[in-house]
Amino acid sequence: MHRRIIAPGALAAATLLLAIPASAASHSPGAPGIGDPYYPDYGNGGYDVSHYDLRLTYQPATDELAGTATISARTTQDLSRFNLDFLLDVGEVRVNGVKAAFTTARQHELMVTPKTPLAKGTPITVVVRYSGVPSTKSAYGFTTWHRTPDGAVAADEPEAAWWWFPSNDHPSDKATYDVSVAVPDGTQAISNGTLQSVTSKLGWTRYNWRENKPQATYLATLALGKFDITTGTSEDGVPVINAYSRDLGDNDGAARASVERTGEIVDWLSGFFGPYPFSSAGGYVPNTTTGYALETQTRVYYSPRQFANGSNTSVVVHELAHQWYGDSVSLKGWKDIWINEGFARYAQWLWSEHEGEGTAQELADHVYASHPADDPFWTVAPGDPGPDHQFDIAVYDRGALAVQALRDEIGDKAFFALLKGWPQRHAYGNASVADFQRYAEQVSGKPLAALFDTWLFQPSKPAAPAARAVSPAKTQTAPAQPRSWKRIQATNDVHSR
């Protein structure tokens, strides 16, 4: 791909290249994108990250973030240079201990040229020293670093990492994380995993978080502000860490009444999905004005607006369901979003049934009946919605309807075996919709190509499944709206940035 910026550093590196052995001529630059057709320049080619160690300092008064990222990776090709995705100001880059040339290119690319080319299949350590005011940085005209009255939050999908750490920003390259952040005494830093230690020195408090299971870059989160942190353990023994901004105002009670049920809901979900995959669970509610929630690994991000109408366990179920469907088993490419959203929505339907507010079948019937055949809703194919429709309501509602159609087709026994088997089959890995179809065929012993095509890929309203066809006398009236319907829809009403 063409690059328009040649920095002085790159020229110096070009000079150095003359001095290297002839065998290095076969080394080529890593691709500036990992090859996702939805987002061609997200992620990078040529290496695979295994661990991010982020050691940072944040000053809420000025929104200044500074520190060092140490990235452990392995090359997957002979590399003359490689890219990271990042927006803050870089002071120094070292590769295997040696200063490397670097320059920035296009929207969010940091191009690194090591002093010596790198051979395929070798472990590398990349150290990036950086600083900056994340709220002043944007790419493609937006920023997803959200300032709050007392700090800031990084949590968005698919873009969140560029504003706080350099990465190979694509869910197909998962890694473990140590996130260590120093903040002024009285401010807290919230991130993924377990809190290893908190230390104070000379007016600064350092929070050390560790996520020891592979995590996608968009599922890494950071919140800085004045939080009340609660801890506990679920009945099944899952440690729970939640955090609430001390500035939630009228939403404080409802937020706690919802998020404090994390342990109970994790245990309930494990009845369907199998053992909880991570070493801690929980969520945090910062004082943001954004509306969506996000399944950030082990530590779900909730907008306070999700609790503006009272307690909302449905959104908690949705985000916790993602811990299995999305976080442990991550999508291969962004087009596979149905596996995340279709199943997280379906979990909300199961919860509705559990709460006596409408069965999954009633919710499916309601989705089917409330969108006439000419409704543009049906033009979005949840199995490959396109980047502009990735988070459309159809990905969720038509997506969950497809899950119900699959259940109707293969029967409850195979369906629930599949629901529990899938997170085991691909635990801590990546999988696609095609992988899911193959696995469903294997578990049920039925060919399912036509069913998947109809419910996930056709841009039109499927005919009602034979088993579910409403009798002619009843076709005039749509089924009654399940009591959970409005609450479930509200998960998306507030999804805008």
Binding residues for ligand ARG (CB under 6 A): 156-157, 292-295, 318-319, 341, 391, 495, 497
Q: Measured from the CB atom, is 41 or 341 closer to Zn ion?
A: 341
Helix (H) or strand (E) holding 367: helix 360-370
- Under the binding rule (CB under 5 A), the answer on residue 293 touching Zn ion is no
In this structure, the strands spanning 188-190 and 175-184 are unpaired
Could you say which residues in the range 178-197 bind Zn ion, by CB under 5 A? none
Residue 344 sits in the site that holds Zn ion (CB under 5 A): yes
Binding partner selected for residue 485 from ligand ARG, Zn ion, none, CB under the kind-specific 5 to 8 Å limit: none
Of Zn ion, ligand ARG, none, which one does residue 495 interact with (CB within 5 to 8 Å by kind)? ligand ARG
**Residues 304-343 interacting with Zn ion (rule: CB under 5 A):** 341
CB of 305 to ligand ARG, least distance (A): 12
Residues 6+ apart with CB under 8 A from 301: 153, 155, 221, 223, 283, 284, 286, 293, 294
Do 384 and 399 meet the contact criterion of CB atoms below 8 Å apart?
A: no
Contact partner at residue 224 from Zn ion, ligand ARG, none, CB < 5 to 8 Å by partner kind? none
Binding site partner of 126, from ligand ARG, Zn ion, none, Cβ cut-off 5-8 A by kind: none
Region label for 395, one of left (φ > 0), alpha (ψ between -120 and 50) or beta (otherwise): alpha
- Picked from Zn ion, ligand ARG, none, the partner binding residue 294 (CB below 5 to 8 A depending on kind) is ligand ARG
Round to the nearest angstrom and report the end-to-end CA distance of the chain: 30
**For residue 148, what are its two tokens?**
């709050």
Identify which of residues 180 and 288 has a Cβ nearer to ligand ARG in the complex: 288
Q: Are 337 and 331 in contact (CB under 8 A)?
A: yes
- Pattern 50-89, binding to Zn ion, x per CB under 5 A? ----------------------------------------
- In the bound state with ligand ARG, the residue whose beta carbon lies nearer, of 245 and 340, is 340
Task: Centre a 10 Å sphere on the Cβ of residue 44 and count the other Cβ atoms it contains.
Answer: 27
Query: What are the φ/ψ torsions at residue 419 (nearest 5 degrees)?
Result: -60, -40
Q: How far is the CB of 492 from Zn ion (least distance, A)?
A: 9
DSSP-based three-state secondary structure for 34: coil
Q: Which is nearer to ligand ARG, 341 or 362 (CB)?
A: 341
Q: State the nearest-atom distance from the C-beta of 391 to ligand ARG, in Å.
A: 5
* Nearest residue (CB) to ligand ARG, 293 versus 363: 293
Is residue 306 exposed (0-12), middle (13-18) or buried (19+ Cβ within 10 Å)? buried
Bridge-based pairing state of the strands 123-132 and 89-95: antiparallel
Q: Which partner in ligand ARG, Zn ion, none is near 292 (CB below 5 to 8 A by kind)?
A: ligand ARG
Q: Which residue is nearest to ligand ARG (CB)?
A: 292
Pairing verdict, β 239-245 and 283-285: parallel
Q: Which does 307 bind (CB under 5 to 8 A by kind): ligand ARG, Zn ion, none?
A: none
Name the residue nearer to Zn ion (CB basis): 150 or 341: 341
Asked whether the beta carbons of 365 and 404 are under 8 A apart, the reply is no
CB nearer to Zn ion: give 218 or 455: 218
Residue nearest Zn ion by beta-carbon distance: 344
Q: Residue ranges of the alpha helices (H) in 211-356?
A: 252-259, 262-273, 313-321, 337-354
Binding-site ranges for Zn ion (CB under 5 A): 341, 344
